[in-house]
Structure 1
Amino acid sequence: MNERLRPPRRVVADRVTLAHGGGGKAMRDLIEDVFTSVFAPPGMEDQARLMHPSLLDPGARLAFTTDSFVVSPMEFPGGDIGTIAVCGTVNDLAVGGARPLWLSAAFIIEEGVEIATLRRIARSMQTAAEAAGVRIVTGDTKVVGRGSGDGVFVTTAGVGVIPPGRDLMAGNVRPGDVAIVNGVLGDHGAAILAARGDMALTTDVISDCRPLNLLMDAVLAAAPDLRCARDATRGGLASALNEIADAAGVGVVIAETDLPLRPEVKGVCEILGLDPLYLANEGTLVLFVPPDQAEAALAAMQGMAAGVEACIIGQATAAHPGTVVMKTVFGGGRIVDMLVGEQLPRIC
Structure 2
Amino acid sequence: MNDMSAPFPPRRARINDVTINLTHGAGGKAMRDLIQDVFVGAFGQPDAAAMEDQARVPLSALARHGDRLAFTTDTYVVDPLFFPGGDIGTLAVAGTVNDLAVSGARPLYLSCGVVLEEGLPVETLRRVAESMRRTAEAAGVRIVTGDTKVVERGSADKLFINTAGIGVIPAGIEISSARARPGDAVIVSGHLGDHGAAILIARKQLALEADIPSDCRPLNGLIDAMLAACPDIRCLRDATRGGVATVLNEFAQDSGVAIRIREETLPLRETVKGACEILGLDPLYLANEGKLVAVVPADAAERVIEAMRAHPDGRDAAVVGCIAERPRGAVILETGFGGERIVDMLVGEQLPRIC
The residue number in structure 1 matching 2:42 is: 38
The residue number in structure 2 matching 1:250 is: 257
The residue number in structure 1 matching 2:4 is: none
The residue number in structure 1 matching 2:288 is: 281
The residue number in structure 1 matching 2:127 is: 120
User: Is 1:19 aligned to residue 23 of structure 2?
Assistant: yes
Using the alignment, how far apart are the partners of 2:55 and 2:8 within structure 1?
A: 18
Using the alignment, how far apart are the partners of 2:9 and 2:100 within structure 1?
A: 38
Aligned-residue offset at 1:7: 2.2
Using the alignment, how far apart are the partners of 1:259 and 1:79 within structure 2?
A: 24
User: Is 1:176 aligned to residue 180 of structure 2?
Assistant: no
* 58 and 105 in structure 1: CA distance in 2 versus 1, 3 angstrom threshold: closer
2:192 to 185, 192, 203: 185
Counterpart AA for 2:37: D
Using the alignment, how far apart are the partners of 2:65 and 2:113 within structure 1?
A: 33
Residues 57, 164 of structure 1: 8 Å contact kept: no
SS of alignment partner, residue 319 of structure 1: coil
Deviations 1:5-63 (A, max 9, x none): 64200111111011111111111111111111100066321000012646335960000
> 1:249-268, aligned counterparts within 5 Å?
249-268=256-275
Which sections of structure 2, spanning at least 5 residues, go unmatched?
1-6
Which sections of structure 1, spanning at least 5 residues, go unmatched?
none
User: Is 1:235 aligned to residue 235 of structure 2?
Assistant: no
Residues 331, 344 of structure 2: 8 Å contact kept: yes
Identity of aligned residues (%): 60
User: Is 1:217 aligned to residue 224 of structure 2?
Assistant: yes
Residues 251, 320 of structure 1: 8 Å contact kept: yes
Residues 38, 123 of structure 1: 8 Å contact kept: yes
Using the alignment, how far apart are the partners of 1:123 and 1:166 within structure 2?
A: 34
Q: TM-score, normalised by structure 2?
A: 0.95
The residue number in structure 1 matching 2:335 is: 328
Counterpart AA for 1:89: T
User: Is 1:161 aligned to residue 161 of structure 2?
Assistant: no
Residues 181, 286 of structure 1: 8 Å contact kept: yes
Which stretch shows the higher mean deviation, 54-63 or 236-245? Answer: 54-63
User: Is 1:77 aligned to residue 81 of structure 2?
Assistant: no
Aligned-residue offset at 1:199: 3.8
User: Is 1:107 aligned to residue 111 of structure 2?
Assistant: no
Deviations 1:217-265 (A, max 9, x none): 1101101111110110000000000000000000000000000000000
The size of the alignment, in residue pairs, is 346
* 121 and 343 in structure 1: CA distance in 2 versus 1, 3 angstrom threshold: same
Residues 229, 304 of structure 2: 8 Å contact kept: yes
SS of alignment partner, residue 43 of structure 1: helix
SS of alignment partner, residue 332 of structure 2: strand
The residue number in structure 2 matching 1:131 is: 138
